[in-house]
Structures are given as C-alpha cells and as structure tokens.
C-alpha cells in the first residue's frame, strides 16, 4: 500500500469501539467509520438498564485513561451514569461524526486488498483495516425451561428490561444468581412483594460496599486533574495486585480473597440452613466473583425467598419446582447470562481464500494474543478471544489492545506495511502456551461457568494483565506475514 491514510472500519460503538476510534482520532487517522447496529453508543451499558445495575470495577478505574471523569457519584458507578459517560465521551472526543448508527455489518469479505462490507439493510462500504469491537456479553442466553412461553405475566431477560412493567408490590421471580441476579435481588428487595430468587448454583460473594463520593471530593478531582490520574493508577495497581494474580496463580491473593468470601458468608448469614444453601460447591473465583455488600442483607428480609429446588417448568401462574411447589408470581426476570462465545455473531467474516470465521473457529474462538486471527489479514479484535476479562477493568484491557492495533496502523499509514496477518504457527504456539498455563488458574478447579469454552478450557487470559501489556507492547515481527 502506498503511504497515506488507510480507511479503517470499526464494528461496534461500545466501550472498546469508542476507545479505538478515540485513539485513531488522536493519532490523526481521519478516514474512519464506526458501524453501530443500534441508535446510540454504549454497547452493554446501553442494552442493560435493569434496576440495581452498576459496575463492580471501581469507577475511577473503569474510565478511559484519556478521558477522566471527576463526576462519578459513587465508587462503583451506576449503569446509567456509565452510559452517560460513554455518550459524553463520544461527543467530547469528536467521535460522533464518525459513527454510522443503525448500521449492522452483516458481512465483511477480504478481496485480497481490502474488506468489502455489507450492512444488513444492503449498504456497502470498504475498509483497508477492519477492527471488531463487538463485545463479549451481548447475546442474552435464554434458559431452556419448559413452559416459559406459557407464562401469563411478564417475562423478560435482564438485558432486555421491559420498563413498561410495574414492579412495586408485584410478586417477582428472579432466575439466576450471577452478578446480574445478585444486583437485581438487592435492588428489588422491598419493591417486590415478595421477591423469589431461584438459585441453581450458589456463588461466592466479596462484600465491597457501594459508597457515595462527596461533592468535596468531586470538586477536588475537578480542580486537580492529577488527583484523577493518581486515583486511576492506585485502583489499577490494587486491582492488578489482588485480582490480577488471585485467579491465575496460587498465592496470598487467592487465599485472602477466598478467606474473605468464606468469613463474610459465615458472618452475614447466621441461619445454618440458609448458609448451607448459599455455600457454593466450588472455590471462590472459579465462577466470576460477585462483588456485593447488599445481597446477603437482602436475603435476610422476610419478603425475599431463596429457592434452591430446581425449576421443573413454568406454568401460566408461576414457577414449578422439583418439590412439586408452584411459586405464584406476576413477573419473571431471567438473569441467566449471555452467550459469551458468540464473538462477532451474527456478522459473517470471510478472510483469505474464502475462509470464514465460522470455519476457522469451528472448535472455538482462537486468536493471536487476543488481537488477531490467522487467515484474516488487516483484521483486529478488541476484547477478542482469551482477553483478560475476569474481574478486571475491560477498559484498560481494550486500551492496551487499541494501542497495539494503532502500532500496526502507523506502519500501514507510513507505507512500510500493506497487509499484516498472524501466522498459524505463532497463533497455535500462543494457544498451546495458554492451555499449559490453565491448570494454575482457579477457573479449572471444578465448576461450570460462562468462562469455559465448548472444550471445557477457559476462554480467558491465564496470566496477569501486566503480561498482556508486555505481550502487546510491540509486534513480534516473525509472528506475522507482512506484505
Ligand atoms: P451469569 O454469571 O452467567 O449467571 C447466570 C445465572 O443464571 C447463573 O446463576 C446460572 O446458574 C443461572 N441460570 C442459567 N440458566 C439457568 C436455568 N435454566 N435455570 C436456573 N438458573 C439458570 O450471568 P450474569 O449474572 O448476567 O453475569 C454475566 C457476566 O456479566 C458477569 O459474570 C459479568 O462479567 C458481567 N456483569 C458485570 C456486572 C458488573 O457489575 N460489572 C454486572 C452484571 C453482569 P448456574 O451458575 O448454575 O449456571
């Protein structure tokens, strides 16, 4: 390619797509388009509007390092506030003019020189470089429960909240006790009369309280921007020191987190019978750790019922469990999670020699160091396969990946590179190293979770975020075929 501005298309204007677009703009890449299937930015923060939604990564760290926000109202920001932050950032960073809303890329095909793009409503576009920023947790997973469609009341998934449904005073069932079910339970306790929580598997809870930031501290952060940076770095250091290590290697961090969870359960739930029901069969962090100081208190309420008998079916009047009991309810909320392995779906991606991503990933999503895929030139992924997505700030991870992609784009703009694609050998070496590192992680200690791929291997990063940064600090040229 001759030196000059490559045309870059980003798929998705969620957290990572905006991150990439912002970095490209800052670096002077102007031939840039972000295709967004919805009518607003924000991705998962736009789609999830359920009561009690908040981010369990500290707000001062769950922000772009290049767009600090002094105005967070609490240490763990509410979902609506985070969504406002992304909308604001997209305007302040001059990105909105680059975003094509309601533009869903149905197909992207490499023609030997560039990608030809087709949207689901038939528009066409092209791109020299394609960046997939389509997120991980976007396809709601609906449970396969008999009779669900026969329910006479309102039933919906947590990520598709039906705001027309009145909740106060209603008999509400929440199915699922992941991060979402726990936040919902805390928020709906006292609103629902009663709230019935259906738990299939208990989960460990780390008691991190929601604390408001005072107007004084917000004013101080506005007045002294350095305080924001200090705060970001302090949280990053703390999160990486504790959670960055706890999940991936045995050590004091894992022991400490596990002990806090176990002690918290002992202290917060005094009833031995209830405690037994809430005691998970696996180790803390095997499933993604739940952060909540309000879940156990909610379960102590008389108008909150915990049901651990398995659900046999849903009937028009409610939820029937294996003990034969019908739990009569008016509303059913399915907090049953997402298909975390539906990377890029339903977009059809075609690379070299007609290779489709569906074929390349027949046995599961596999990439090169979380950012690229052999057979797909000039194609990069943000929060791609095996990204460090446990209890981390995905924003920090996306920034590392976007900086790496930017490095390649600088080479393309300078004309020294025309096409770049990771080799199959380097990718398979990387994936072998991943597999070898998995036994040290807590995710393989015997639980089922959305972390696990179809082959039972966690689709996560088995090292610390610092190793991710090191691996993506600069391209290892022999790992690529470059023209
Ligand atoms: P999840 O962690 O996958 O949990 C789904 C829950 O639904 C589990 O308790 C699961 O039980 C249960 N379930 C699924 N199918 C069921 C069925 N047929 N019958 C009964 N129970 C069923 O989903 P999530 O809570 O939506 O969270 C997903 C991820 O989203 C989180 O891990 C996190 O990464 C992210 N999230 C983050 C935040 C945040 O604050 N940052 C908030 C919410 C979500 P089993 O455990 O038995 O499978």
Reported as a single tens digit per residue, the pLDDT across 323-340 is 999 999 999 999 999 988
In whole numbers, what is the pLDDT of the chain averaged over residues?
Answer: 96
The closest-lying atom of ligand 1 relative to the alpha carbon of residue 55 is 40
Q: How big is the chain by its Cα radius of gyration, in Å?
A: 23
pLDDT band at 89 (very low <50, low <70, confident <90, very high): very high
Average pLDDT value for residue range 63-82: 97
Atom index in ligand 1 nearest the CA of residue 180 equals: 25
Task: State yes or no: pLDDT of 167 exceeds 80.
Answer: yes
- Non-local CB neighbours of 317 within 8 Å, separated by 6+ positions: 152, 326, 328
pLDDT, residue 137, reads 86
pLDDT for 455 equals 87
Return the minimum-mean-pLDDT range out of 37-51, 193-207, 240-254, 335-349. Answer: 335-349
Q: Is 335 in the pocket of ligand 1 (CB under 6 A)?
A: yes
**Other C-beta atoms within 10 Å of 318: how many?**
20
What distance in angstroms lies between residue 93's CA and the mean position of ligand 1's atoms? 33
Please measure the distance between the N-terminal and C-terminal CA atoms of the chain and give it in whole angstroms: 9
What is the pLDDT, as a whole number, of residue 454? Answer: 87
**Per-residue pLDDT at 234:** 97
Residue range 248-297, pLDDT digits in tens:
999 999 999 999 999 999 999 999 999 999 999 999 999 999 999 999 99
Distance 223 CA to ligand 1 centre (A): 40
Ligand 1 binding pocket includes 159 (Cβ within 6 Å) = no
Out of 121-135, 147-161, 340-354, least confident range: 340-354
Residue 392 CB partners (closer than 8 Å, separation 6+) = 57, 239, 240, 243, 244, 465
Give me the mean pLDDT over the 220-239 stretch.
95
| CB contact at 8 A, 309 and 323 | yes
Give the residue whose CA is nearest to atom 12 of ligand 1: 176
Residue nearest ligand 1's atom 35 by CA: 179
**How far does residue 314's CA lie from ligand 1's centre (Å)?**
19
Of ligand 1's listed atoms, the one at least distance from the Cα of 291 is: 40
- The pick from 63, 81, 158, 179 for probing ligand 1's pocket by mutation, whose C-beta has the most ligand atoms within 8 angstroms, reads 179
370-373: list long-range contacts, CB under 8 Å, 24+ apart.
Answer: 370/401, 370/461, 370/468, 370/472, 371/401, 371/404, 371/405, 371/472, 372/420, 372/421, 372/422, 373/422, 373/427
**Angstrom distance (rounded) from CA 365 to CA 217:** 44
Among 59-63, 277-281, 329-333, 445-449, where is mean pLDDT lowest? 445-449
Over 70: is that where the pLDDT of 197 sits? yes
pLDDT > 80? residue 2: no
Average of per-residue pLDDT across 442-460: 92
Long-range contacts of 253-256 (CB under 8 A, 24+ apart): 254/285, 254/442
Q: How far is the CA of 444 from the centre of ligand 1 (A)?
A: 18
**pLDDT the model gives residue 344:** 81
State residue 345's pLDDT score: 75
Does residue 393 line the site of ligand 1, with CB under 6 A?
Answer: no
Residue 121 CB partners (closer than 8 Å, separation 6+)? 104
C-beta of 233 in contact with ligand 1 (< 6 A): no
Q: Using a 6 Å cutoff on CB, does residue 55 contact ligand 1?
A: yes
Q: Is 464 in the pocket of ligand 1 (CB under 6 A)?
A: no
Binding site membership of 210 for ligand 1 (Cβ less than 6 Å): no
Q: Report the pLDDT value the prediction gives residue 138, as an integer from 0 to 100.
A: 86
- For ligand 1, atom 3, the nearest C-alpha belongs to 337
Q: Cα of 382 to ligand 1 centre, how many Å?
A: 23
**Mean pLDDT, range 53-65, rounded to an integer:** 97
Ligand 1 pocket member 78 (CB < 6 A): no
CB of 200 sitting under 6 A from ligand 1? yes
Span from the CA of 178 to the centroid of ligand 1 (angstroms): 4
Band (pLDDT 50/70/90 cuts) for residue 391 is confident
Tell me the mean pLDDT in the region 213-232. Answer: 95
């Amino acid at each position: 390619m001759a030196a000059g501005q490559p045309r870059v298309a980003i798929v998705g204007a969620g957290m990572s797509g905006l991150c990439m677009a912002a970095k490209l703009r800052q670096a002077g890449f102007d031939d840039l388009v972000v295709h967004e299937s919805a009518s607003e930015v924000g991705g998962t923060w736009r789609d999830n509007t359920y009561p009690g939604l908040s981010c369990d990564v500290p707000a001062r760290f769950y922000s772009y390092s290049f767009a600090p926000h002094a105005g967070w109202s609490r240490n763990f920001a509410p979902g609506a506030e985070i969504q406002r932050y992304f909308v604001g950032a997209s305007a302040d960073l001059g990105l909105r003019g680059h975003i094509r809303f309601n533009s869903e890329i149905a197909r992207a095909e490499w023609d030997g020189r560039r990608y030809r793009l087709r949207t689901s409503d038939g528009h066409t576009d092209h791109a020299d470089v394609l960046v997939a920023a389509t997120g991980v947790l976007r396809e709601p997973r609906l449970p396969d429960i008999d009779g669900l469609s026969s329910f006479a009341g309102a039933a919906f998934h947590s990520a598709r909240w039906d705001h027309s449904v009145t909740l106060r005073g209603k008999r509400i069932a929440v199915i699922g006790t992941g991060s979402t079910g726990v936040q919902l339970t805390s928020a709906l306790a006292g609103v629902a009369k009663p709230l019935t929580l259906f738990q299939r598997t208990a989960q460990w809870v780390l008691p991190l309280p929601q604390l408001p930031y005072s107007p004084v501290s917000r004013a101080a952060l506005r007045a002294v921007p350095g305080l924001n940076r200090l705060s970001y770095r302090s949280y990053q250091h703390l999160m990486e020191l504790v959670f960055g290590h706890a999940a991936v290697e045995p050590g004091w961090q894992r022991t400490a987190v596990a002990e806090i969870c176990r002690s918290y359960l002992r202290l917060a739930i005094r009833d031995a019978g209830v405690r037994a029901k809430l005691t998970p069969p696996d180790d803390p962090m095997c499933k993604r750790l739940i952060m909540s100081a309000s879940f156990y208190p909610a379960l102590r309420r008389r108008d909150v019922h915990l049901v651990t008998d398995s659900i046999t079916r849903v009937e028009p009047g409610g939820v029937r469990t294996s003990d034969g009991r019908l739990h009569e309810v008016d509303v059913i909320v399915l907090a049953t999670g997402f298909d975390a392995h539906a990377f890029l779906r339903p977009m059809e991606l075609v690379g070299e020699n007609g290779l489709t991503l569906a074929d390349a990933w027949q046995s599961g999503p596999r990439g090169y160091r979380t950012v690229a895929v052999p057979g797909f030139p000039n194609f990069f992924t943000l929060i791609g396969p095996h990204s460090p997505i446990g209890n981390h700030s995905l924003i920090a991870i996306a920034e590392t990946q976007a900086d790496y992609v930017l490095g390649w784009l600088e080479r393309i703009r300078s004309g020294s590179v025309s096409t770049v694609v990771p080799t199959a050998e380097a990718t398979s070496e990387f994936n072998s190293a991943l597999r070898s590192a998995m036994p040290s992680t807590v995710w393989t200690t015997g639980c089922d979770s959305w972390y696990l791929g179809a082959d039972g291997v966690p689709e996560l990063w088995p090292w610390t975020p610092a190793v991710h940064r090191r691996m993506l600090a600069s391209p290892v040229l022999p790992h690529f075929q470059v023209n």
